[in-house]
Amino acid sequence: MASLLHQIQHQGVTINAPLPLDSGQVLPSVTIAWQSYGALNADRSNAVLICHALTGDQYVASDHPGTGKPGWWARMVGPGKPIDTDRFHVICANVLGSCMGTSGPATPDAATGAPLGMAFPVITITDMVRAQAMLLDHLGISRLHAVVGGSMGGMQTLAWAATFPERLASALVIASAARHSAQNIAFHEVGRQAIMADPNWQDGQYYGSARAPTKGLAVARMAAHITYLSEAGLTEKFGRRLQARDIKSFGFDADFQVESYLRHQGLAFTDRFDANAYLYITRAMDYFDLADPHDGRLAGAFAGARDVRFTLVSFDTDWLYPTSESRRVVQALQSVGAAASFVELSAPFGHDSFLLDVPALDRLVAGSLRAGLA
Amino acid sequence: MKLRPDLAIIADAVPSSARVLDVGCGDGELMAALRAKGVDARGLEIDPDNVTAAIARGQSVVQGDANRDLADYPDDAFDYAILSQTLQTTERPDRVVDELLRIAPRAFVSFPNFAHWRVRLALLWNGRMPVTRLLPVAWYETPNIHHVTVRDFRDLVRAKGIRVERVWHLSGDKPASDAAASWRAEHAIFLISRT
């Protein structure tokens, strides 16, 4: 399916300037695909950058060109919505390493024209942010009213504040963390091994062949999907109910509804995502630890971000990026004197709460974006 | 919207351009008044609905517990710390006062005076824990676990070597005279500072 995925045309720009990466390697040029909503005002002061999550994309409030489904945050972004496109110029770019038009493992090698595959360099969250900064330079936007992101988008938002503090007035970080925990890394490693154990993966050079590692990618998605939900949510949605049958089959069909659901989620995912991109982006998340360059002191990462207004939100049922990780960020921000807001919201949906109907989140997002307006 | 009288006194006494932490800031009523006069006000609040409301009003508020989370603020992070109507609900009011004067050189502390004559009378006549306008909840469910009087608080700050810069006494919504405040003040606001 990867070949179909890569046939989609995206709005993008190729910037012919080198992008130095944390790994020490350099991308000689970078292509960035993005979407924008709402008008940029005359003094270019109303731009809001939305950073998407691991399997998200730039189609934050418009239909996905592959699946036709509504944008992943259409409930949050639009005219009159909490991120109000009547007021803000909203930009969302596909992250570096992804598969929706921005440079990644499916990008052709400049010399041979063949997809890079595993020859694409390993990237980091901060590399993604540097690429976004290059896009903003290209668009002539020197300073953002806000950077907003949930999950991996929140990591990019924190990396924005750490890397380019003078370029943003406020940061809104939802269901996220300033580092990946051992448990986070462990779940990602399961996903990567599922992909790489699929014989169709072919060391990452499957793009030209008729075989793509869809089974491995589907299993990776199934394992990850469990981490996005709460146990109570799974129990309420599926319990031990059987799928389209009255008795157990005493076989290995999807007897249980939860099995059928996960299989569907895994399979549907392979229509819209590239296995190598999944490897690269999960790796970037695993390497993420903002305290690492500061001898383990997270406050060191925010030393230059005193003038950025931060809002952090966690959810009580999110065990992937629990409240304690948001509190750790808040403590670091308080220790440097940055204006920080934090609240743990109650929502039943686990980590996925940031994407779903949580009215208190809508109020928070709208309020924190309004706060910095003159 | 009219501020509660103790909050109005604090809002009036804080100089504009000061940096302030409002501990137990509720939904941000006092912070809104402070910000209107140019104060850089931030809040700490335990109730998530209040925190959400305050952030939705555009304020900087952290969900947290005055008993534990004041420790996260660095020394001298603020010019003033404010603790209004919250001291009597804390686990160790003495340690909270220490924390307030660690994170700021000055602090406003306001509390209902448990030695007000109505309270004394109710206890004397009924022999039961008083339920009054400022202390409206029965003893078994009240959040006020450390009732305190004006004299108690003076004793505490004296023992700690803390300076009392100014005191306001309130009876109902009106100022009460300092004479016999121990009996006549329903409510006291202390401005204290490190010596």
Three-state DSSP at A340 gives strand
CA distance B162 to B167: 13
The answer to whether A366 faces chain B, any CB pair under 8 Å, is: yes
The answer to whether A145 faces chain B, any CB pair under 8 Å, is: no
pLDDT digits (tens, 9 = 90+) for A76-100: 999 999 999 999 999 999 999 999 9
pLDDT of residue A371: 80
Q: Shortest Cα distance from B102 to chain A (angstroms)?
A: 13
Nearest by CB to residue B55, choosing from A330, A344, A367, is A367
Which residue of chain A is at minimal alpha-carbon distance from B51? A343
Which chain B residues have a beta carbon less than 8 Å from that of A339?
40, 42, 60
> Residue A167: pLDDT above 80?
yes
Contact yes or no for A266/A222 (Cβ under 8 A): yes
Segment among A174-178, B72-76, B130-134 with least mean pLDDT: B130-134
pLDDT of residue B112: 94
Nearest by CB to residue B60, choosing from A340, A344, A360, is A340
Which chain A residues have a beta carbon less than 8 Å from that of B61?
341, 343
B127: left (phi over 0), alpha (psi -120 to 50) or beta: left
Beta bridge partner(s), residue A344: A314
Residues of A labelled as active-site residues: 151, 318, 351
Segment among A201-205, A293-297, B111-115, B131-135 with least mean pLDDT: B131-135
Taking all residues of chain A, what is their mean pLDDT, rounded to a whole number?
A: 96
Which residue of chain A is at minimal alpha-carbon distance from B72? A331
Which chain A residues have a beta carbon less than 8 Å from that of B62?
330, 334, 340-342
Q: Do the strands A12-15 and A30-37 form a parallel or antiparallel pair, or are they unpaired?
A: antiparallel
Which chain B residues have a beta carbon less than 8 Å from that of A346?
48
Nearest by CB to residue B55, choosing from A334, A335, A364, is A364
Nearest by CB to residue B60, choosing from A309, A331, A364, is A309
Inter-chain CB proximity B58 and A334 less than 8 Å: no
- E-assigned strand segments in A64-167: 77-78, 83-84, 89-93, 144-150
Q: At A142, list the tokens.
A: 């020197």
pLDDT band at A2 (very low <50, low <70, confident <90, very high): very low
Rounded mean pLDDT, A147-174: 98
Rounded mean pLDDT, A335-351: 95
Which chain B residues have a beta carbon less than 8 Å from that of A337?
74, 77
Closest CA to A371 of A307, A309, A313: A309
Closest CA to B131 of B112, B158, B106: B112
- Choosing among A343, A345, A362, A373, which should be mutated to test the B contact, i.e. which has the most B CBs within 10 A? A343
CA distance B136 to B125: 18
pTM for the whole structure: 0.95
The answer to whether A342 faces chain B, any CB pair under 8 Å, is: yes
Q: Give me the amino acid identity at A87.
A: R
Which residue of chain A is at minimal alpha-carbon distance from B76? A337
What ipTM does the predicted assembly reach? 0.91
The answer to whether A346 faces chain B, any CB pair under 8 Å, is: yes
Give the whole-number percent of chain A exceeding pLDDT 70: 98
pLDDT of residue A79: 97
Inter-chain CB proximity A367 and B42 less than 8 Å: no
CA distance A220 to B134: 58
Rounded mean pLDDT, A123-136: 98
Rounded mean pLDDT, A300-306: 97
DSSP string over A150-175: ETHHHHHHHHHHHH-GGGEEEEEEES
CA distance A317 to A59: 27
Specify the higher pLDDT residue, A208 or B107: B107
Inter-chain CB proximity B62 and A342 less than 8 Å: yes
pLDDT band at A6 (very low <50, low <70, confident <90, very high): confident
Q: Which residues contact B5 (CB under 8 A, 6 or more apart)?
A: B170, B173, B174, B187
